[in-house]
Amino acid sequence: MRLLKTALLVAGLCAATAFASPTAPRNGAEYTTLKTPQPVQVQGKKVEVIEFFMYHCPACYALEPAMLEWVKKQGDSISFRRIHLPLTGENDPEAHMFLTLEAMKLEEQLHAKILTTWHVERRRLKSDADNIDWAVKNGVDKDKFTATYNSFSVMTRLKGAGRVAATYEVTSTPTLIVAGRYLTNPSMVDASNPGIARPQLGAATLQVLDVLVAQARGQ
């Protein structure tokens, strides 16, 4: 009887370990479902994927290569966009930079350069003056950048950025939102799967993302 109980216990533990996997994510563990689903900016069969990030965030920088490769692999089946979490509130200089470049349709073009500035060159862009100086040195017209930086539309979005993050229940970065319904991030995946080695955490997170995208499609 004791041997039978031990065998059942071991089997149960093995089953639990097998189930606790990024390829079989659990609601409340590797991901959560938003209390209030949010509208998406896509139509048809595309699935919207949002990455909440911050320029200075080491985890965001670590995830970036795998994230870009994942997005490329998805092709036209998803719509991917970024939102910068305003760490210091409605005057956050990093979010201000992001919103300005986005408004000028330069964010995608200059995203990698900004990350290099922060994480390779170790240069901190912590003020309006830092942002303007960086933009000019990287080929952006100073007058156009300044005008957009101080525009009503950018300032309005900057002041509301914190409310947007709260609406999506985002409190840390990087955090990924799928179809306005599902939230996951490397911290959740790590906590739910403690055996994952740190270098593989990004890939594991993207495995969860694969499942959530498929789930959003009703598969």
The model's pLDDT over 5-28, given as tens digits with 9 standing for 90+, comes to: 433 333 333 333 344 579 899 999
* Bridge partner residues of 50 (DSSP): 81, 177
42-186+193-210 in CATH: which number?
A: 3.40.30.10
Can you tell me the distance from the alpha carbon of 176 to that of 112, in angstroms, rounded to the nearest whole number? Answer: 19
Of residues 10 and 114, the one with the higher pLDDT is 114
Contact 84, 54 (CB under 8 A): yes
Site of tokens 């229940």: 169
> Exposed/middle/buried for 17, CB within 10 Å: 0-12, 13-18, 19+?
exposed
* Bridge partner residues of 52 (DSSP): 83, 175
Contact 128, 83 (CB under 8 A): no
pLDDT of residue 9: 37
What residue ranges do the domains of the chain occupy? Answer: 42-186+193-210
Predicted TM-score (pTM) of this structure: 0.88
The residue-averaged pLDDT of 112-123 equals 98
